[in-house]
Amino acid sequence: MPEYDPVADLYDLEYTHDYDLPFWLALAGREAGPVVEWGAGTGRLAVPLAATGHDVTAVELSGEMVGRGREKGGAVGWVAGDIRDAKPGRRFGLAVCAFNSFLCLTSPDDALAFLRNAREHLVSGGLLGIEVSAFSPDELVDPPGGPQLRHDLTRPLPDGRLDRFSVSRYDAASQLLQMRLFYERYGPSNVLESKRAHDLTIRITGRDELLLMMRLAEFEVEAVYGGFEGEPFTSASDHLIVLARRG
């Protein structure tokens, strides 16, 4: 079962941010279309990109996430498939792989398969933008005594609230970060109504590994940023953004 199927109903409650949208909108305005988003989730970026007039295709593995994206309406062309081998049937001027969808590829072979597929689906001169979280060494080291439960977020709901807690363990050998997420949904008078646990695994990828993989997949790296304002990438950056072209 795709990892995101069991938590698709929570995705839009958890991830309400849109600080990254102006960056992708500006890129879509600058580059030729059409646009593809690889690993599009519920269309957090794809739907507003399409709403501003761009011709957008969204590729997503989880049928539940696709279903929620489709419910939002708009002109997004949804493709249920795996970004390693999905064939949307056309080529794009701009490809976006944002908010850690790339890190869901849990081996270098999977990452390369995606990059090669993404390249195949770009027109000559087309641009691929990848954005992932940049983790500091502190975030990847267990505290003394072992992994600890962390409070990640609280989201107010019309009839209560959603809390998320997590425990993470990082294996430096495989670069896999395994997260167990605990969701608690409270009703209007603070009564716990439901809870569930969910496991997610991502593969932490640093700047130079990502650049090397992009070169192996025959991309020409054009820019590396550490934030959505085009800041330089440093050891203090929270984000790693790479833009690369199909030559």
Radius of gyration over alpha carbons of the chain, in Å?
18
Single out the segment in contact with ligand SAM by CB under 6 A; choices: 59-67, 134-142, 177-185, 212-220: 59-67
Under rule CB under 6 A, residue 178 binds ligand SAM: no
Site string for ligand SAM, 74-103 (x = CB under 6 A): --------xxx-------------xxxx--
Give the residue, chosen from 7, 23, 44, 226, that forms a contact with ligand SAM under the rule CB under 6 A. 44
Q: How far is the CB of 201 from ligand SAM (least distance, A)?
A: 10
Give the residue, chosen from 10, 36, 47, 65, that forms a contact with ligand SAM under the rule CB under 6 A. 65
Q: How far is the CB of 66 from ligand SAM (least distance, A)?
A: 9
Neighbours of 92 (CB within 10 A): 26
Distance CA(8)–CA(16), nearest Å, equals 14
Give the residue, chosen from 35, 50, 104, 115, that forms a contact with ligand SAM under the rule CB under 6 A. 104
Contacting residues for 6 by C-beta, under 8 A, at least 6 apart: 64, 196, 198
């962390």: which residue's tokens?
Answer: 150
Coil/strand/helix, residue 193 = strand
CA 62 to chain centre: 13
Q: How far is the CB of 103 from ligand SAM (least distance, A)?
A: 8
Beta carbon nearer to ligand SAM, 88 or 147: 88
Stretch (H or E) spanning 15: none
Contacting residues for 54 by C-beta, under 8 A, at least 6 apart: 28, 33, 34, 35
Give the residue, chosen from 7, 47, 61, 115, that forms a contact with ligand SAM under the rule CB under 6 A. 61
Under rule CB under 6 A, residue 45 binds ligand SAM: yes
Q: How far is the CB of 190 from ligand SAM (least distance, A)?
A: 29
Q: How far is the CB of 146 from ligand SAM (least distance, A)?
A: 26
Distance CA(96)–CA(13), nearest Å, equals 22
Neighbours of 176 (CB within 10 A): 16
Q: Residue 187 has which token pair?
A: 């009703």
- The residues of the shown chain that bind ligand SAM, judged by CB under 6 A, are 2, 4, 15, 39-41, 44-45, 59-62, 65, 82-84, 98-101, 104
